[in-house]
Structure 1
Amino acid sequence: MSDAELAARLVREAGTLADRMRAGGLEAQTKTSVSDVVTAADHAAERQVIETLATERPDDGVLGEEGADHRGSTGRIWVIDPVDGTYNFLAGLDWWCSAIALTDGDELLLGAIHHPASGRTFVGGPGLASTVNGVPLEPIADRPLAESCLATYLHPPFLDHEVGEAFDRMAGRAATMRMLGSGSMDATAVAEGRLHVICQHSVPPWDALPGAAIICGAGGVTRRVRAAGVEWYVAGAPTAVDEVCAALTEGVWRRP
């Protein structure tokens, strides 16, 4: 089984398990805020992925949102987000998924995202054309930020803060904005051209890498830039990404 096939299997199985557990009823525990929650389904789905990887890729490492951290001997790491969008998941909203990425050192190899509500599985990477249920995605069309729908999120405590000022500069130049609550799901929408650019600060690897792989595999770009004392993750249509980075830093920003 190829890495891409395995990744698709892992997220389908994790998403199916989480969805089944949600149907049976779940309670949540708060992590850092009312919107940052975890359930037994998050832990069970992550554990299932780890157990499968122990059989299929025993020498690889794993890094999971719910605590898995094993480096392995190959330099390759599977980065796991068993339920991305847990607040939505718990609230009965459909904008959540299971996601995984595979890295080799600093290189992002591929990502996979499964959306249980629609039964669709996205797979792609910088060197792997992105697909949904095996069907190739059309290349991401380039467009300016002023004609783009921005997917983002900012925790309310940062609104009256220099981070909020940078956010306002960036968001104010987009055509429109959505806060939907799942970074990996937002990335699938960017890859399909339904949204156009993603920007958020302090994004952990399990929230960024699966979607970054899908966006890159569809011809988009990803960047990281420091502004207002934090690191921002930006991904999507190349021109919109450039203009987001310029707005965040209040200067002319160019791709290296």
Structure 2
Amino acid sequence: MSIDTGRPRPVPDEPTERLSDVDLAARLVVDAGTLARRLREDGLDVRRKTSVSDVVTEADDAAERHITTLLATHRPDDGVLGEEGTLVTGGHDRRWVVDPVDGTYNFVSGSDYWCSAVALSGPDDYLLGAVHRPVTGETFVGGSEIPTRRNGVPVTPLTPGDLAAGSLATYLHPPFLADPALAEPFHRVSRGAATIRMLGSGSVDLASVACGVHAVWCQHSCPEWDWLPGRALVDGAGGVCTTVEVNGYDWFVAGRPDAVDQAVALLRG
């Protein structure tokens, strides 16, 4: 697998080579992340979406346009769903899910805890994900048919673990703590771990889970772009991924075998 960590390359009118899904996914996130980082250095126009911590920038929009242009060139028959509004109906059942800047609040705050992420789903439960962290230079690719790799090197396969002995990566917007239907399962699962990490980029969290840094990640009500790229990485590392309904909300859970079962049991109470 070749990974280019330089600046985004010009998009040709016609593809000069047939990139594999793996190489294309890596190029998409590296190009998008590099573009977003450069735009951040130049200064950003920030717009609020739903709350003070839910924002979007011109970098999100530009990075998503860059990804969709590349996909139109290299995979014109594939569908596309982008966080910032892209919706392309494909000619068959392959679809790319795009999160051009995951962790936008961190991004605009100057933190390095953000990434660009994509996932490709297809027939027979095919799933491929790619995540790139521009500030650290890390690129993760993996999925149902390829072991997860970090900068081209396979990660150590995940082994069974105990949630009580590991960290839990999660996120809950503070206003939701007032809703017992969310707060109670959140408190139960949080107390079951050795410690919690709540930094606000689901795809970065899940890449860390795939590398064995966290035992489990869980979050409620995830859109596809916050779940599928990282889920693919955890799948490709030998982890367990599941969704469980609690009090009318879907919770998305991924991590080490056994530890995921423990987290699900705590969520359910």
TM range (shorter): over 0.9
Task: Name which of structure 1's ranges 133-142 and 33-42 shifts more when overlaid on structure 2.
Answer: 133-142
1:178 Cα deviation after fit: 0.7
| Structure 1 pair 104–150 and aligned structure 2 pair: CA distance change class (3 A) | same
1:103 to 117, 121, 132: 121
- Out of 45, 53, 56, which is 2:74 matched to? 56
Question: Identity rate of aligned residues, in percent?
Answer: 57
User: Using the alignment, how far apart are the partners of 2:163 and 2:152 within structure 1?
Assistant: 30
What's the Cα RMSD here? 1.0
Q: Which amino acid aligns with 2:159?
A: A
- 1:7 and 2:25 equivalent? yes
**C-alpha distance in structure 2 between counterparts of 1:162 and 1:47, whole Å:** 37
Structure 1 unaligned spans of 5+: 251-256
Structure 2: where are the runs of 5+ without partners? Answer: 1-18
Deviations 1:32-67 (A, max 9, x none): 111110000000000000000001000000000000
Aligned to 1:211: 230
- Map residues 80-159 of structure 1 onto 2, 5 A cutoff: 80-104=98-122, 107-159=125-177
* 2:240 pairs with 1:240: no
Q: Which structure 1 residue ranges, 4+ long, deviate > 3 Å from structure 2?
A: none
Residue 36 in structure 1 maps to residue 77 in structure 2? no
Instruction: Output the amino acid matched with 1:144.
Output: D
- Structure 1 length normalisation: TM-score? 0.95
CA distance in 2 between partners of 1:216 and 1:113 (Å): 14
Residue 74 (structure 1) aligned to one of 92, 97, 106? 92
Aligned letter for 1:177? I
2:188 is matched with 169
Amino acid at match of 2:263: V
Distance apart, 1:133 and its partner CA? 1.3
How many residue pairs were aligned? 250
1:188 matched to 2:207? The reply is yes
Name the SS of the counterpart of 2:258 in structure 1. Answer: helix
What residue identity is the alignment partner of 2:225? Answer: W
Indicate the residue corresponding to 1:254 in structure 2: none
Moved more, 16-25 or 158-167: 158-167
Distance between the aligned counterparts of 1:36 and 1:106, measured in 2?
A: 35
Aligned residue number for residue 244 of structure 2: 225
SS in 2 for 1:6: helix
- Per-residue deviation at 1:248? 1.1
User: Normalization by structure 2: what TM-score?
Assistant: 0.91
* Partner Cα separation in structure 1 for residue 77 and residue 57 of structure 2: 29
Letter in 2 for 1:37: V
- 1:159 aligned counterpart, secondary structure: helix
Structure 1 residue 107, shift from structure 2 partner: 2.4
SS of the residue aligned with 1:212?
helix
Q: CA deviation at 1:141?
A: 2.6
Q: Is the 8 A contact 1:142 1:237 kept in 2?
A: yes
> Partner of 1:253 in structure 2?
none
8 Å CA contact retained: 1:163, 1:228: yes
Q: What is the CA distance between 1:106 and its match in structure 2? A: 7.5
Structure 2 SS opposite 1:123: strand
Q: Give the counterpart letter for 2:64 in structure 1.
A: E
